[in-house]
Structure 1
Amino acid sequence: SHQVLQQQQLGASNDASILPLEYLALCLLRLYFLPELALQPPFYSRYIIARKNKNYPLGFTTLSICSYNLRMHWSDITISSLKSHSIFNATYVPDAINWNILSKLETDNKFHVIPATREEEAIGIAAGIYAGGQRAAMFMQSSGFGNTVNALTQLLVAYRIPVPLFIGMRGGLGEFNEVQVPSARSIPSILDTLNIQHYAPLHVDDVEKYVNGAIELSYASRMPVAVLWYSQLVGAKRVTS
């Protein structure tokens, strides 16, 4: 089975008689708090490694790993990645998805958060920050992406200015507003046409790898690179009364 194979690869086959029972209990806890994450294989690998290398008692391992994952929201992982790559400036046009990140950046004294009235303005600000010797990320919603095409092609791409782009994707699973669907569906193909690479972490266990990789690729290639936040990760927006 997939679990047995992972145990063998990690050298944990000797614990096979006790690990599945604890892992099942841990998955039940996660199923209650974070159902979309409960049975992901990467989490099982992390669990096996913790039991193999740290030699913690069963109960302690269960509680420590479970509490760690409950603390690490996808937005917190993203912020940690921004810090580790010395990106302390953020430009944005407000949207509900990216506000999970931006609201925390605004309370962190290390970050300078700059709102813009339009998406191309936010890109221009980010480009100016880079020209001044610092780094900036840009945040927007998919519905405003069309406003960025000229700034992307005539500024960032033309002059090889690296700006990580974080796009909150509406119009996917669970979307309630039909007008959000067409623009969101077209964004990946538009990015391909503009020769801008894009990545979409769909599970919280993938966020660190994708965000770090996108940031590193952006600065290595001196090109914008986009990270797309889909509802599989961030949840669908609902109508509120």
Structure 2
Amino acid sequence: MNSSEAIYNGIKSAGINFIVSVPCANLKELLKLIDNDNEITHIPVTREEEGLGICAGAYMAGKRTCILMQNSGLGNCINALCSLYELYSFPLVMIMSHRGTEGESIVGQVPMGKATPKLLESLNLDYYKPYKITEAYNIVKNSWNDAVEEGKPVSILLEINYWKLEEE
């Protein structure tokens, strides 16, 4: 199992059946797996907060929701996370390609890479940073139940080096 398959299998095990995504090169293999799955509704969006609004509506219609995005879009989501998700205790799984971490080749990604955990903490949102394929699978598998139990989004930060992992 490679890194994308682990995340996909975790999504399936969690029963997540509605995903929005913002384009990201690191997520392209995962997105291919999702697009080939007839049990998952996948809606590509252009902005992260648009995706959060769509996920909120899908959750209210009985779906288990997830957004796939880069951490650089977290700043675009803060108002929706506070005024919608926190206010109404909506669960959501946020799987983020965590750019700007060790191994990042684009220096402009580094400031947001450093700020991402601090932003999540300031929003009182739980996050996980898996470093192994099986660890990522287990975190994603449990993420929906964690989000429902907590009544708030749960984030999974996949650092640059995560995408280079192969079978353990």
Same topology, TM > 0.5: yes
Residue 167 of structure 1 contacts residue 226 of structure 1 at CA under 8 Å; is this kept in 2?
yes
Indicate the residue corresponding to 1:145 in structure 2: 74
Partner residue of 2:98 out of 155, 158, 169: 169
Looking at structure 2, the residues matched to 77 and 234 of structure 1 have their Cα atoms a distance apart, in angstroms, of 11
Alignment size in residue pairs: 165
Give identity over the alignment, percent: 33
Looking at structure 2, the residues matched to 82 and 205 of structure 1 have their Cα atoms a distance apart, in angstroms, of 13
Indicate the residue corresponding to 2:14 in structure 1: 85
Give the number of the structure with larger relative contact order, counting CA–CA contacts within 8 Å between residues 6 or more apart: 2
**TM-score normalised according to structure 1 size:** 0.65
Residue 12 of structure 2 contacts residue 141 of structure 2 at CA under 8 Å; is this kept in 1?
no
Residue 14 of structure 2 contacts residue 143 of structure 2 at CA under 8 Å; is this kept in 1?
no
Looking at structure 1, the residues matched to 27 and 85 of structure 2 have their Cα atoms a distance apart, in angstroms, of 21
* Residue 112 in structure 1 maps to residue 68 in structure 2: no
Partner residue of 2:5 out of 51, 62, 76: 76
Looking at structure 2, the residues matched to 179 and 158 of structure 1 have their Cα atoms a distance apart, in angstroms, of 33
Note the 1:145-224 alignment, pairs <5 A.
145-224=74-153
Q: Which amino acid aligns with 2:72?
A: S
Residue 72 of structure 2 contacts residue 113 of structure 2 at CA under 8 Å; is this kept in 1?
yes
Instruction: Specify the structure having the higher radius of gyration (Cα).
Output: 1
Q: Which runs of 5+ in 2 are unaligned?
A: none
1:216, CA displacement in angstroms?
2.0
1:215, CA displacement in angstroms?
2.5
1:96, CA displacement in angstroms?
1.1
Q: Which runs of 5+ in 1 are unaligned?
A: 1-71, 236-241
* Residue 98 in structure 1 maps to residue 10 in structure 2: no
- Cα deviations by residue, 1:64-93 (Å, 9 ceiling, x for unpaired): xxxxxxxx1122122222222221111011
Q: Which amino acid aligns with 1:173?
A: E
Residue 203 of structure 1 contacts residue 232 of structure 1 at CA under 8 Å; is this kept in 2?
no
SS in 1 for 2:42: strand
Looking at structure 2, the residues matched to 215 and 135 of structure 1 have their Cα atoms a distance apart, in angstroms, of 7
1:110, CA displacement in angstroms?
1.4
